[in-house]
Each structure stands twice: as C-alpha cells, then as structure tokens.
Copies of this chain bind each other. A is one copy, B any other.
Amino acid sequence: MQNLTAIDGEAGHSVIDSLKDVCPDLARYIIEFPFGDIYARPGLDLKSREIATVAALTALGHCAPQLKVHVNAALNIGCTPDEIKETVLQMAVYAGFPAALNAMFVVKEVLAERALL
C-alpha cells in the first residue's frame, strides 16, 4: 500500500476505491501482486520499471486509463518528461505509429494537468 501511494499517488487510490463495490478482491490483488510483490523487488530500479510499464501500455494500445496512471507515476518517481516522451516515441518502431500517437496524447494530457507542457 505504501508502494501504491509513493508510485501512483491519488490516481492509484481512486482506482482502488472505484473497485470497492464491484470487486474489492481485484483491488486487493492489485495492491498485493503488482505493488506488494513486483515493484518492491530488487534487480531493477523503479525508474526503469516505470519506463518498462509505459512502453508496454503504449504497445498494448487498449490501456489509456492505466497509461495515464503510469505517466503520472513515472513523473512521481523522478522520470523527466523527455524520458517518458522518448519511451512513447520509440514504440512507433515496435507497435506502429497509431499506438505511439494515441499514447503521446495521453502524455500530453498528463503534462498539461501538471503544467509541464
């Protein structure tokens, strides 16, 4: 839960809250498995973990809400806007321009909300 707060901030908590009435166990698994287990592991620093997640969510293409959470998370743990943009841009090579383009507009939205554009 500490990891969730440190990494995802308010956005993470709002996802957890919105699961309360429909499937609290999904919320519990998200807290336990990705955040309790995976992000707490040694062997890969947190910045690299967020870059990997931003890359994967961009490539998968149907995860805009999660991408928004993780662009915020990446900024929260110290990634620069440029590092995030470069990660998304690079996905044009591996997942095509539409995936990169749609993700870049999510990045734009987050940067605008944080007055970082």
Interface residues of chain A, those whose CB is within 8 Å of chain B, are 15, 18-19, 21-23, 25-26, 29-30, 33-34, 37-38, 41, 43-44, 47-49, 51-63, 65-66, 80, 82-83, 85-102, 104-105, 107-108, 111, 117
* B25 with A89: CB separation less than 8 A: yes
Given contacts A22-B104, A85-B23, contact A94 B57 (CB under 8 A): yes
Report the minimal beta-carbon distance from A93 to chain B, rounded to whole angstroms: 4
Collect the chain B residues with CB atoms within 8 Å of residue A48's CB: 47-48, 51, 83, 87
Q: Which of B22, B34, B56 makes the CB contact (< 8 A) with A56?
A: B56
Judging by beta carbons under 8 Å apart, are A52 and B49 in contact? no
